[in-house]
Amino acid sequence: MKPAVLLILAVPALAKADPKLDFALGILAGQRGDRLAANAAIEKAQAADPTAFPLMTRVAQMRQAAGDVAAASTFYRDFAKAAPERLDAQIAYADFLRDVSPNDDFAGKIAAETLEKAALRFPRSLAIEKRLFRIYESMEQREKSRAIFEELAQPGLGDAATLAAVDMARTLFPKDNAAGRARMDELLKQAVQASPDNPVLARTASEHFRNTGRLPEAMEMLAKHVAADPSSLELHTRLGILQLAAERQADGEKTLKEVLAIDPRQALAHQSLAKLYRNQGRIPEALPHAAETLKIRGGSPSEFLTLADEFLAADQPREARLLLEKAVFFNQSDPDLAVKLAVATRRDPETHSSASRLFREAETLAGTGGAAKDPVFLSEFAESLLEGGQVPAAEERLRAAIRSYKADQKKEQAAAMRRLAGIWEQGKKNADAARSLRQRADALDSPQ
């Protein structure tokens, strides 16, 4: 077939509008950054299919972004009038009016009328009622907004209606209004009783009572929910925290342990138990929970170091090592963590033999200052070197450790002096220096 004939046959196909193709071309043009081509293609698609709501909203938004609010309003209005059976179109028109003219009573009036007509076709639509409530309030039509609240506050309308009514009550009733508070109390208690497994409802009810200074009622709401759904771990944990706040430590401890029995990786439950045990002086019980908190949610290097020191002071080097390994994994260039990990690894019988490499790596990472001058690290490093038969290197670290101890660490400094003196005595060298070191050590830790 000749090219001219092909061209003639192709003309009708090209002339025929294809909104899906035009829309796709508009999207591609937008991705290329050609905004003019994108807008033109999408407007062409909308003109070819004026009943497509997504296309209409895109074109209206384009006109609004270009500053032509009147044109955008026309698109929303005409579509809403032409499609009264579409709730989304009525809501979009009303929302547009309120967004572009939030303080305009005339725009508010049109928005309200649009939604009121829609309400006749879509009775008990929360999307409509919540918008009408806000419009009536902004136009100071309290009787109408109060009527919507009363309608939604009726029992048996479902959880969503209750939550909407509670939100409206916060607007209608001042915080110190006893009648309003009583109304909300009744509304929330009935709703939780009817749907105890709804977490949003339980949290809303609990926070209402907590914020009004009534912890027993706040805990009661959460307890009902937890009884209905023990696996609701966030609120289960919240119940335990409220019990602790109410000085019901035994109940709070029990509740938080229940959470961890279901899921041991609940960081907030671990954190709360760690705090409880510390406040009660139960440090050995607090440390594992504090460690789990850091392992799960992470923390700063200083947090890991502080807790590792507590484990080492409690003669729990394995726990310190496991904690520090986690910290080093996420902070591989931190010299303080590397230094502490080497010490904990050597003190842990399970990993004692592999500590020498960590000491070398930590010393290299730390350089000549900072963590490398820590006397505990230097003393432990010296012992590791001695175990490997590297006596001169061990002596060097012990000398550095002796110089690094602070003035209030006389006992530890004296022990390092005696250790160095013992090495010399065992090697039958530096006898006078060894004797002098022991005298200095005795003077340091002798009673004053």
CATH code: domain of residue 387: 1.25.40
CA torsion sign, 338 to 342 to 343 to 349?
A: positive
The region that residue 248 occupies, defined by phi over 0 for left and psi between -120 and 50 for alpha, beta otherwise, is beta
pLDDT (mean) for 382-400 = 92
Tens of pLDDT, residue by residue over 340-387, are 999 999 999 999 999 999 999 999 998 877 787 899 999 999 999 999
Q: Which long-range contacts (CB under 8 A, 24 or more apart) does 263-272 make?
A: 263/233, 264/292, 265/292, 265/296, 266/233, 266/237, 266/296, 267/292, 267/293, 267/296, 267/297, 268/237, 268/241, 269/233, 269/237, 269/240, 270/296, 272/237, 272/240, 272/241, 272/244
Range of the domain at 394: 382-448
pLDDT (mean) for 329-338 = 92
pLDDT (mean) for 204-217 = 94
Q: 47, 3, 6: which is closest to 23 by C-alpha?
A: 47
Per-residue pLDDT, 16: 60
To the nearest whole percent, how much of the chain has pLDDT over 70? 96
> Could you identify the residue written with the tokens 């590297």?
390
The answer, yes or no, to whether residue 122 has pLDDT greater than 60, is yes
DSSP secondary structure, 99-167, as one string: HH-TT-HHHHHHHHHHHHHHHHHSTT-HHHHHHHHHHHHHTT-HHHHHHHHHHHTSTTS-HHHHHHHHH
Q: Is residue 434 part of a domain?
A: yes
Q: Is residue 77 part of a domain?
A: no
Residue type at position 200:
V
The answer, yes or no, to whether residue 225 has pLDDT greater than 90, is yes
Tokens of 9: 């046959």
Per-residue pLDDT, 430: 87
Q: Is residue 408 part of a domain?
A: yes
Per-residue pLDDT, 25: 87
Q: Is residue 422 part of a domain?
A: yes
Q: Is residue 388 part of a domain?
A: yes
pTM exceeds cut of 0.85: no
Q: 213, 215, 209: which is closest to 243 by C-alpha?
A: 215
Number of domains in the chain: 1
Residue 242 contacts residue 268 (beta carbons within 8 Å): no
To the nearest whole percent, how much of the chain has pLDDT over 90? 72
Q: Is residue 396 part of a domain?
A: yes
Q: Is residue 427 part of a domain?
A: yes
CA–CA gap between residue 370 and residue 364 (Å, rounded): 12
Q: Is residue 413 part of a domain?
A: yes
**Which spans in 367-448 are helix H?**
375-387, 391-404, 410-426, 431-445
Residue 112 contacts residue 135 (beta carbons within 8 Å): yes
